[in-house]
């Protein structure tokens, strides 16, 4: 009896200990789950805030590079082409300084965009957009230094400088336009946001700039054609006035005298050799 009583008491105490232990474990696990859930929620909220901030950085970066390489740099090229077609004068100086100001603003905007990308973005250079962007940053600064060290006209270095400046500027502008398209594609890939409207707007702008670029080559020809047509309309070809009867009689008399003179010369030659 004592053994069975002790055994039953031990079993009762063991069951109570198990119940208390299970209750403690359940409470602690519930607390850990709650704490873990709260930590994940806080981390998720922080990640969402970081993502929205990162998206704003990406948008500002894209607008800066659009304004720099997608607008100011091509417009600067158009202005210097206009200056080259003008004769020496005040207008040439205005267009030249406008070209310099536009290009300097383009370089400054591109530099701000580069600093933003280095400071805030993950620059692994694992895609074409980042690699091409790095090459463009180096090219625009090299082009800037070349522009400041312009040799005077009439020297041998002038031709080499002009060719180098023209090639680097044209290639940099074209590659910048291409990189804007790759940036729009990368933005769509990262955020799943629609960039169709931005692509259409940028394409329309580039088409207008290209049309104006080609129109510059034909403008002088169009002006000349207009002047020629205007002169033709204002100064029609003068038709010969009809001869009067008196003039006709004089012409007939002159022709008869010429014929008589020729006949007399032939008779004189015949008499000479007979």
pLDDT of residue 24: 41
Task: Kindly state the DSSP code that residue 69 receives in the 8-state scheme.
Answer: I
CA 94, 98, 99, 104 torsion-angle sign: positive
| Paired tokens of 267 | 């008779």
Q: What is the mean pLDDT of the chain?
A: 76
DSSP of 184-200: HHHHHHHH----HHHHH
Strand residue runs (E) in 80-169? none
pLDDT for residue 20 is more than 60: no
- What pTM did the predictor assign? 0.63
pLDDT digits (tens, 9 = 90+) for 110-137: 999 999 888 888 777 888 898 999 999 9
Domains of the chain: 52-218 (1.20.120.1770)
213 near 78, Cβ under 8 Å?
A: yes
Cα–Cα distance list, 211 to 128, 170, 177, 216 (Å): 28, 16, 16, 9
Query: What mean pLDDT do residues 68-83 have?
Result: 92
Q: What whole-number distance in Å separates Cα of residue 168 and Cα of residue 166?
A: 6
Query: What mean pLDDT do residues 188-197 have?
Result: 88
At 175, the pLDDT band (50, 70, 90 cuts) reads: very high
pLDDT digits (tens, 9 = 90+) for 195-243: 999 999 999 999 999 999 998 888 777 777 776 666 666 665 555 555 5
pLDDT of residue 108: 96
187 against 269, higher pLDDT: 187
pLDDT of residue 261: 62
């Amino acid at each position: 009896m004592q053994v069975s009583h002790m055994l039953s008491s031990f079993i009762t105490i063991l069951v109570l200990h198990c119940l208390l232990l299970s209750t403690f474990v359940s409470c602690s696990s519930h607390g850990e789950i709650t704490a873990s859930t709260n930590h994940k929620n806080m981390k998720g909220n922080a990640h969402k805030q970081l993502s929205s901030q990162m998206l704003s950085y990406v948008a500002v970066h894209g607008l800066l590079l659009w304004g720099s390489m997608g607008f100011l740099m091509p417009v600067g090229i158009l202005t210097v082409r206009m200056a080259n077609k003008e004769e020496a004068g005040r207008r040439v100086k205005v267009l030249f300084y406008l070209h310099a100001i536009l290009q300097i603003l383009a370089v400054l905007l591109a530099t701000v965009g580069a600093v933003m990308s280095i400071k805030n973005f993950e620059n692994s250079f694992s895609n074409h957009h980042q690699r091409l962007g790095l090459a463009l940053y180096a090219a625009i600064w090299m082009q800037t230094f070349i522009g400041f060290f312009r040799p005077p006209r009439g020297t041998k270095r002038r031709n080499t400088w002009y060719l180098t400046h023209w090639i680097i500027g044209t290639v940099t502008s074209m590659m910048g336009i291409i990189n804007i398209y790759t940036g729009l594609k990368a933005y769509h890939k990262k955020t799943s946001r629609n960039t169709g409207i931005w692509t259409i707007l940028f394409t329309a702008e580039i088409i207008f700039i290209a049309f104006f670029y080609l129109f510059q080559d034909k403008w002088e020809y169009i002006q000349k054609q207009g002047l020629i047509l205007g002169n033709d309309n204002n100064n029609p070809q003068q038709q010969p006035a009809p001869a009067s009867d008196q003039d006709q009689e004089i012409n007939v008399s002159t022709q008869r005298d010429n014929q008589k003179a020729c006949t007399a010369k032939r008779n004189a030659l015949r008499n000479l050799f007979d």
